[in-house]
Amino acid sequence: MSTHGTKESRRDKHAKRIAPRMVWVVVKVFRGFPDKVRVFREEEPAQKQLARWRKGMNFDYDDADIFKVPIQDALAKEPHR
């Protein structure tokens, strides 16, 4: 139900179901190969993990980065390209 006490329409329920949720994926690369991957529901812990991995890292050979990725309901249709 909405805050006005009325029922949600099917369209509103469907929009909520297919609205993308976000996860943050942190990837560590060691000597050019993916070494570790962690997935987080919130950005702050992902940023902390990234900082821990980068501390003392040899950036001539290794790297780490964070990616914000939308997660959609399995029932959602793929967009046409």
Give pLDDT, residue 9.
72
Q: pTM, whole model, 2 decimals? A: 0.65
Q: Which two tokens stand for residue 62?
A: 């290794």
Angle, CA 30 vertex, CA 29 and CA 36 arms, to 5°: 55
Better-predicted residue by pLDDT, 41 or 77: 41
Over the stretch 1-56, which tens digit does the pLDDT of each residue have? Answer: 445 556 667 766 665 666 668 999 999 999 999 999 999 999 999 999 999 999 98
Phi first, then psi, for residue 7 (nearest 5°) are -75, 145
Distance CA 6, CA 58 (A): 58
